[in-house]
Structure 1
Amino acid sequence: MATNVNVLVVDDVEQNLTAIEALIAGPDVTVLKATSGIAALELLLVHDVALALLDVQMPNMDGFELASLIRGSERTRAIPLIFLTAAAREPEKFFKGYGAGAVDFLYKPIDAGVLQSKVGVFVALDRQRKQLAAQLEELTQALKLNEMFTAVLSHDLRNPLSSVANGAAVLLKMSGDPGVTRTARRIQTTTRRMGNMVEQLLDLARIRSQGLRLNVCSADYAELCGAIVDEMEAAGDGTARIEFEQAGDVQGEVDVDRFSQMISNLVGNAMQHGTPDAPIRLRVDGSAPERITVSVQNGGSIPTGQLPHVFELFRSGENENTGHRGLGLGLFIVKKFAVAHGGDVTATSSPAAGTIFEISMPRAFAHGVH
C-alpha cells in the first residue's frame, strides 16, 4: 500500500493551481495549494512535502525569494524545487534559479506529460526515502531489543553459574575421592568457560549499544599479564605450557580490566587451539619509546583462508581435539578493546612459526580516541 505524498504548488493565479492539481493529484498524492509565499511557508510548517512547484513571478515575494527562505530552514532545505515561469528563457534567470536551489525549470504553458513525469519521479523518490527511514527505524529498534535481551540474559546467568562453581569448589574440599575430584574440576572448567561466554555477550552488548567507556590509569603491563597467568595456574588450566618474558619499560596507560580480558582471551584461545605439546609464549616488550607490544604465540597454524577473518564477529574456529566451538566473540572483543585504546592487534600464522597474536598499544592514552 503506497503512502500518501504531499506536493506543494505555489502560484498567485487560482486557475493555474486548479489546473496543476487536476494533472498531478491522485489517491495517494495530495496537492497543497498556496497563492503566496507567506501561505506556502505556513503550509510547510505543518506538512512534509516531496516536491515544491514555485511560480517565479508573484507579487510581494517572488519564487526566488521563497526558494531562499525554504533553503534557509533546516526542516525544509532538502525539498526539491521546480520553478514555473512564463518568462523568456534568459540565461540570467537560469543562474538565479539554480543558485536559489532549483532542480529544474518548467515553462508556461506547461506540457502536461512533462509535468506528470517529473512529479512522478520525485514522488517515487520520496516514497523510497520514507520506506528506507521506516526500515532503518525498525532495524534500530530490533537491534536495541536484541542487545537489551542479551544483556539481561547474560546478567541473569551469572548467579546460577556462581552457585555451580561454588558447589564444585566445596566438593573439592570435602572429598578426596579421585572420581569426585575429577568431576568437580570438570564442572569448574565448564562453568569458567560459560562465564567467559557470558562476559563476552555482555561486552558485545556494550560495544554495539553504547560504545566502550575506558577507565585508564598508569599500570605495569608485565604485572597485569603475570596476574592472568597466575589466575589460570590457580585454576589448573595448564599454565605449565606458558613461557612468560618481558623486555624494556613496560609501564603505560591502560584500562586494567579491559587489557586483562584481552590477555585472558588470547591466552585462552592459544590453549584451546594451539598444539598441546607446544609451549605458549607470552611476551611484553616496552623497548619502543611510544608503544608497548604484547604477543601470544602458540603451536599450530591457522588456515590461510581463515586468517584474514579471525577478528570478525561470530568467527569461531573448532578445536580439533575436543570439537569445542566458542561463540566467536573473543578475538572480536580483543580487537575492539585494542582499537578503543588507540592501538591494534594483528595475527600471523605459519606451520613453521605457529600462530602469533600481537597487540600494539600506545604508551600514553589519547583521551577521546574511543
Structure 2
Amino acid sequence: MQAEQPTKLLIVDDLPENLQALNAVIRGPGREIFQAGSGEEALALLLQHDFAMAFLDVQMPGMDGFELAELMRGTEKTRQIPIVFVTAAGKELNYSFKGYEAGAVDVLYKPLDSRAVRGKVEVFVALWEQREAMRRQVLALEQARQAQEAMLAELNVAQGQLQRALAMRDEFMSMVSHEMRTPLNTLYLETQLRKMQLERGNMAAFGAEQLQRMVARDDRQIQSIIRLIDDMLDVSRIRSGKLSLRPGWVEMSGLLRRVVHDLTPQASTAGCSIGLDAGTPVSGWWDEFRIEQIVVNLLTNAMRYGAQMPVSVVLTVQEEQVLVEVRDQGPGIAPELQQKIFEPYERGVGNEVPSGLGLGLYISRELAEVHQGSLTVRSVPGEGAVFTLALPRSDAPPI
C-alpha cells in the first residue's frame, strides 16, 4: 500500500523574517512547509505540488497577493486551494472585503494571533486530509472495480474457451466414431461374409483371385484406421511438445515421384490426374517420412476438393530453400477461411461431405514448422488453391 504523503502548506511573502515567523506558527507533524518570496516563485511551486492551504502576503512588489490569488482561481489545479491573506496594513484599508472578493477564506492582520492561526490551519488541514482520504478510497474502489471487470472479462473468455473446447470434444468424438465406424463396418461385413461361406463349405469363394481382392479391401480399411490413429497421436505429440523428427539425407525430386506414383490409382478413382514438375534433383536434411506425410495430405486434399480437375506438383529449387507447390483447380478458398483451415478439426467444404478428422493441414503445418519451414496457401475463389511447402536447405551430413 502506498504511504501517505505529507500535507503541504505554502507561505508567500517577500520578507524572509515574515516567512520564518509564519513557518514557526503553522509547522506540525505530517506537514511540509514550502516558502516563496514572490508571486512568480509561488506559481512555480503551485504547478509542482498539491497544497492543502496557502498564506499570501497582500503587499508584495511585482505581483501582489490579490493578483496571485486571481491567477490561482483561474487555474484548474489551484482553484480549490484555501487562501488566507496576511497583511500588515490597517483594517481601515478594507482589505478584508477585497480579500473575500478574491476568494479567500480569511484575511489576517499583523501582528498575528498564533493561537488563531494554528486553529485555522488545523481546520483546513483536517478538511484536506479527509478529502484526500476520500479521494484515495474512491481511487481504490475504482481500481477494484476495474480489476473486477478485468477478472470478469477473463472469466468470460475462459468460459467461452471451455465451451468451445467441450463443443470441439463432442464434435471430435462424433467424427472419430463416424470415421472409425466406416472401415470397421466394412471389415465386419467382410468377416461375416467369409464366415457364412465357410459354414456352407463354399471353398470356391476363396480362390486366389477372390483372396487377393479380399486382402486388398482389408488392407484399405486397416490403413484408414491406422491413419486416423496416427493423426490423433500426432496431435497429442504436437500439443505436448513431444513431436520429434528423424532427419536424414533426402532427395526431394525422387520422393515426389514416388508419392505421385503411389497416389495415381487414387487420383484415377477420383476422376483426376496428377502432374509433376520436379526435374531438378535437390537434397536436404529432412525427415523423409514426415515430408512424405505432408505431401500426401496436400495431394489428398487437392484430389478431394479439386472438382475432378488436374492437380499439379511443382518443385522449385532456391539458394536457401526448396518449394513444393500443390495446385488444384477447384472452387478455391474464401479469404476469411484461408487461415482457419489450418486449425485442428477444421474440415473443408465442397460438393461432397467432408471426410476425415480435419487434422491433415494442422499436422502438416506443424511438421513444416518443426523443420524450420512453413506451409502457406494462396487462393482466389473460383480459381483453385496453391499450397506451398517451404523447407530450408541444409548441408548437414547424416548422423
Length-normalised TM-score, structure 2:
0.50
- Of 217, 223, 239, which aligns to 2:248? 217
Counterpart code for 2:375? V
- Of 358, 368, 375, which aligns to 1:345? 375
Tell me the distance in 2 between the aligned counterparts of 1:121 and 1:143.
33
Q: Is the 8 A contact 2:183 2:225 kept in 1?
A: no
Counterpart code for 1:218? W
Q: 2:282 aligned with 1:261, yes or no?
A: no
- Of 9, 32, 35, which aligns to 1:87? 32
Tell me the distance in 2 between the aligned counterparts of 1:319 and 1:351.
12
Q: Which runs of 5+ in 1 are unaligned?
A: 1-51, 58-84, 95-105
Superposed counterparts of 1:19-38, under 5 Å? none
Counterpart code for 1:202? L
Q: What residue in structure 2 maps to residue 272 of structure 1?
A: 304
Q: Is the 8 A contact 1:348 1:357 kept in 2?
A: yes
Are the structure 2 counterparts of residues 92 and 215 from structure 1 closer, same or farther at C-alpha, using a change threshold of 3 Å?
Answer: farther
Tell me the distance in 1 between the aligned counterparts of 2:383 and 2:148.
57
| Higher-helix-fraction structure | 2
Tell me the distance in 2 between the aligned counterparts of 1:364 and 1:163.
43
Q: Which has the larger radius of gyration?
A: 2
Cα shift readout 1:88-110 (whole Å, capped 9, x = no counterpart): 5779997xxxxxxxxxxx99624
Q: 2:354 aligned with 1:324, yes or no?
A: yes
Are the structure 2 counterparts of residues 222 and 364 from structure 1 closer, same or farther at C-alpha, using a change threshold of 3 Å?
Answer: same
Q: Is the 8 A contact 1:265 1:334 kept in 2?
A: yes
Tell me the distance in 1 between the aligned counterparts of 2:337 and 2:152.
39
Are the structure 2 counterparts of residues 133 and 319 from structure 1 closer, same or farther at C-alpha, using a change threshold of 3 Å?
Answer: closer
Q: What residue in structure 1 maps to residue 102 of structure 2?
A: none
Report how far residue 261 of structure 1 moved.
1.2
Q: Is the 8 A contact 1:296 1:356 kept in 2?
A: yes
Where 1:118 maps in the other structure, the secondary structure is helix
Cα shift readout 1:137-192 (whole Å, capped 9, x = no counterpart): 889999999999999999999999998898899999945677994x8766654554
Are the structure 2 counterparts of residues 222 and 124 from structure 1 closer, same or farther at C-alpha, using a change threshold of 3 Å?
Answer: same
Counterpart code for 2:245? L
Q: 2:234 aligned with 1:289, yes or no?
A: no
Report how far residue 251 of structure 1 moved.
0.4
Tell me the distance in 2 between the aligned counterparts of 1:223 and 1:116.
74
Cα shift readout 1:312-358 (whole Å, capped 9, x = no counterpart): 314322342x4334333222322232233232233334689643322
Superposed counterparts of 1:345-364, under 5 Å? 345-349=375-379, 354-364=384-394
Are the structure 2 counterparts of residues 145 and 91 from structure 1 closer, same or farther at C-alpha, using a change threshold of 3 Å?
Answer: farther
- Of 221, 237, 241, which aligns to 1:206? 237
* Most deviating of 327-336 and 352-361: 352-361
Report how far residue 294 of structure 1 moved.
1.0
Cα shift readout 1:201-250 (whole Å, capped 9, x = no counterpart): 33333333327433333311123333433544688975983333413241
Q: What residue in structure 2 maps to residue 334 of structure 1?
A: 364
Where 1:339 maps in the other structure, the secondary structure is helix
- Of 327, 333, 338, which aligns to 1:308? 338
Are the structure 2 counterparts of residues 352 and 153 from structure 1 closer, same or farther at C-alpha, using a change threshold of 3 Å?
Answer: closer
Q: Is the 8 A contact 1:157 1:198 kept in 2?
A: no
Are the structure 2 counterparts of residues 199 and 316 from structure 1 closer, same or farther at C-alpha, using a change threshold of 3 Å?
Answer: same
Q: What residue in structure 2 maps to residue 115 of structure 1?
A: 136
Where 1:263 maps in the other structure, the secondary structure is helix
Q: What residue in structure 2 maps to residue 242 of structure 1?
A: 274
Counterpart code for 1:345? L
Percentage of pairs with the same residue? 19
Counterpart code for 2:288? V
Q: What residue in structure 2 maps to residue 196 of structure 1?
A: 227
Counterpart code for 2:294? M
* Most deviating of 145-154 and 121-130: 145-154
Where 1:243 maps in the other structure, the secondary structure is strand
Q: Which runs of 5+ in 2 are unaligned?
A: 7-29, 35-44, 50-124, 195-204
Are the structure 2 counterparts of residues 325 and 216 from structure 1 closer, same or farther at C-alpha, using a change threshold of 3 Å?
Answer: same
Report how far residue 289 of structure 1 moved.
1.8
* Most deviating of 306-315 and 259-268: 306-315
* Most deviating of 214-223 and 260-269: 214-223
Tell me the distance in 2 between the aligned counterparts of 1:304 and 1:130.
36
Cα shift readout 1:247-301 (whole Å, capped 9, x = no counterpart): 324101222232121111011112212233x333223232x22111112223323
Tell me the distance in 2 between the aligned counterparts of 1:342 and 1:235.
31
Aligned length: 274
Are the structure 2 counterparts of residues 185 and 302 from structure 1 closer, same or farther at C-alpha, using a change threshold of 3 Å?
Answer: farther
Are the structure 2 counterparts of residues 303 and 262 from structure 1 closer, same or farther at C-alpha, using a change threshold of 3 Å?
Answer: closer
Counterpart code for 1:87? E
